[in-house]
Structure 1
């Protein structure tokens, strides 16, 4: 029947949706005030609770937990409809009955299951007393029992006194250490009637997680033969996996190195960093393949896993060192610092120290993963560090010297320095030594320990470069020309744009053995030694040109032989002067005298007397 428009014109589905919406609204209104049900749902029974840990409250409970879980493993393995992964949970629960506190955490899962299966193999051959004879919780409390031993064996269950499992009764670490030897001694014995045969052999030969009693039957007999606790197919698969992994890792590293060499900036190592990251992931994948899928067991898997830890952490240390080094170089490039400058060296040193700290942390973590206590590793590092420090005192002194140079900045690369008997231009400041290019083009490597304690005269930090020299004039040069020469040199200094216009001196400083000595003392404002040499040359050449224009001759370090008389020309002594005239001449050069010129001839004014 066709629906009519109006109040009753809705389709049936629309009416149902409206009804459901109304019910939901009423439910929301009713919910806050709804009473709590008088009888809440019953809790899961403790025996059926899958999260309930195995009972280890007494030797009897621990032994029963081990046997029950492994018998359940055997039942699942016999059922062809059940996947072998279903055996993993009871295997892990059986391993919970063992005290694995002395086994590295990353190895505990493998070793725990193997030891539980070995324990079951031994019990299946030597037998147990009646369960009623094994102490239960009441017997433990009544007799204050702390340990119990299976009769006629060295298999002991003891109470754990400390740690997260304190108070539980577990198979002792000493028992677990002896299990392989005990198993070898009883392996030839027949199984008892209530045994679960073949579990251990099935576990060590089944790939992946869990175990299967039928898996090895599909392989040829020669592949299932055991050597060192592993089947032949496991050895072959492990060898192929390790070989292919080594080839792939080598190819990755070569590819990364070639990618870095193709860069214009060979200091960038992005390709090597990516290759190392890929190698680290490859190692993780190989370890998973060998441990879980190929399922090596026993001492072999322990050795393989520890080897993977050593190789992986070596790769990680290399990767961390490269990453931090490249971080420092990236900061230097981004800030446009001088690659060999003090700031760049300081950045590199800081990141190298971070690398050392990070590598030390990796060593401690890696040692912990292979079973070495962290405290012992740190102690060993401390003792080793002390031995290294004693054996490398000079190296450490040089390192501290480089730190002092970088923080104090006594000189920079390119500075001309004088340090003891050394003089030259600083070419490089390293962590062990400072390289100085001498002025005869050799390179000195001065240890930084010496640099830290030496007196350094940094010629490169001068704001002005001093020029000091002397000029000898001939004694027959008239005094007025000498003064004109001095005045001309003042003009030469002022005319040169590179000279400092104050603090200079041009004076007759001495009457030497060969001539009249003129001292020339002034400063150049130049940035480096090369410019200093050029500007000094320009000033001195101007002085030579000035002397040529004035007719002033330079004296040479020569000796003059004066012949006083010869037979042809006898000596004619100077006419004697009266004493009164000599006294008069001397007085004329004194105060108020006519000949005296105490301020000179007036042709030269000293620079410091000028206004």
Structure 2
């Protein structure tokens, strides 16, 4: 039977730490005595590396002071470079010269450990700054709503920081030989729980990011979606506000608006108009053949872009012609006035040419009992006596 009162083996023994520290000091002293010249050269190389990296960091800070550097992307890169830490600079220099100076195993292991931690954390800082800087640069260049942007950026910064440094922590622990399976599983379960709890908010948030980066429209654009039209007033964290053509404010979630077909009227390079013109069947064929040329002449006289004009068919009470023309640019007011001017000019020209515009007409015919047609009016005027039956 085992003795349950026996002393348990301690998990942590302070004497082991002391032994490792003593061994590290002893190995370092022996290394300095044997390779002092290589160590001095290595320190010189390391000092040069530190100076170069500090110079690069100062260059990054100067880029941030130039608003037009590289079309704004210089500021993003500059901010990332400026966030380079001193600890990473020192450990990078030590890592690069450790091999040249023939460092003993204890020293090399220590440098590798510290460099791994410094490099992964520094990479996380760079990635976070580049992601956030890219989002801020895009939103500022596209003139998105300021208050909504501040709210969105606060949440985006928190999410990006959490995700990036969580990944960095897992990478560091994995490189140090720690089993990270449980940690990764825990982070995954936690992320799924948070995502399910706030899936509506996250859906609209990612839709807002899609609007920012994909740029289907921007603030101030005139758009049409579904059965509504209006001007975009604000693009927020959860919704987009649109001023309707009747003056009303429409609020639609970012996810829903991206699920619809969007017509960006501000990005039009032209607006097209067409008129359907019907003339009477009594119009002579030679006159009808001149109508397309007349329509072209009228359109070009009003500084519009002529597309086509021609005969389209035999209508119920008219010979139908169509003319199509474009107005340059997206301005609806200019297009509207130009269309009116062309329409009135067509009416005036047809009146001057004595060409009658058709209107709906109907002729009723009557039939006798034997099926023969009866004229709607008598062929000869008869007296009332003759017309009165006996």
TM-score, normalising length: structure 2: 0.49
Higher strand share: 2
TM-score, normalising length: structure 1: 0.33
Higher RCO (CA-CA < 8 Å; seq separation 6+): 2
Higher helix share: 2
